[in-house]
Amino acid sequence: MQILKTDTEVKVRIGPFVDKIDGLTPETGITVSGADEAELLKHNGAATVDISSNTWTAITNCDGWYDLTLTAGNLDTEGLLTVIVQDDSICLPVFSHFMVVNANVYDSLFAGSTLFQKAAKLLVNKAVQNKSTGAINYYDDDGETIILTHTPADGESEITRTPS
C-alpha cells in the first residue's frame, strides 16, 4: 500500500490490466473515461467519487499499467483510499489501495523531518527522573542536551510533554 499526502496532487501507478477471458494478456487500450467504473472509495465514505475525467496515461513499455493523476480534491480525506477501475467487457477489475495521511505524518516519513529521529533517541538514550518534581528529562546522544521533558500534572495521573 502506498502512502499519499493529503490535499496534494499525485500520479499513482494502476495495474496490471489483463484480458477478462485469459487473465494474462495485457490490456493496453483502457481509458478511465470509457470504463464501466472508474471510482474512488474514500475512508468511511458511503458514496463513490467519479474519476473518469482524471488524467490517465499508459506507461510506455509496461503493457497493462497506467499512471492516474489523483487531484488534491481526491485526496481530501485521511484514511484508506481505494481506486477501482472496471471495464467488464474488456478486462478483469483492478483495485489499488492507498493510505492518505496528513502533511505532518507524510513529511515525518519522507521529507527528512526530525520528529521520528527524536522519538528513536528517546527509546535508546539516557532518561533521568527528578524524585522531588517527578519530571523526566530525555537526553540527546551527547548525554547533556535535553531533547524532551515529561512533567507530571497536579493529579500525577497525567504527563505533559514539552519539547526542548
Q: Is the same domain home to 156 and 77?
A: no
50-92 residue pLDDT tens: 999 999 999 999 999 999 999 999 999 999 999 999 999 999 9
> What pLDDT score was predicted for residue 131?
83
> What pLDDT score was predicted for residue 117?
64
Domain end marker among 107, 123, 150: 107
Q: Which domain holds residue 147?
A: 114-163
The sign of the CA dihedral 103, 108, 114, 119 is positive
Q: Is the same domain home to 72 and 132?
A: no
Position 5: which residue type? Answer: K
Q: Is the same domain home to 10 and 56?
A: yes
> What pLDDT score was predicted for residue 144?
82
Residue 133 has pLDDT above 90, yes or no: no
Confidence label for 151 from pLDDT (cuts 50, 70 and 90) = confident
Confidence label for 114 from pLDDT (cuts 50, 70 and 90) = low
Can you read off the three cell numbers belonging to residue 113? 523531518
Q: Is the same domain home to 50 and 28?
A: yes
Confidence label for 154 from pLDDT (cuts 50, 70 and 90) = low
Report the number of distinct structural domains present in the chain.
2
Q: Is the same domain home to 74 and 127?
A: no
Q: Is the same domain home to 89 and 127?
A: no
The Cα–Cα gap between 128 and 124 comes to 13
Q: Is the same domain home to 100 and 121?
A: no
3-class SS string, the chain: CEEEECCCCEEEEECCCEECCCCCCECCCCCCCCCCEEEEECCCCCCEEECCCCCEEECCCCCCCEEEEECCCCCCCCEEEEEEEECCCCECCEEEEEEEECHHHHHHHHCCCCHHHHHHHHHHCCEEECCCCCCEEEECCCCCCEEEEEEECCCCCCEEEEEC
The Cα–Cα gap between 50 and 8 comes to 18
Q: Is the same domain home to 96 and 69?
A: yes
Can you read off the three cell numbers belonging to residue 128? 533521568
> What pLDDT score was predicted for residue 58?
95
> What pLDDT score was predicted for residue 108?
78
Other CB atoms closer than 10 Å to residue 135's CB: what's the count? 16
4-43 residue pLDDT tens: 999 999 999 999 999 999 999 999 999 999 999 999 999 9
Q: Is the same domain home to 17 and 57?
A: yes
Residue-averaged pLDDT of the chain: 86
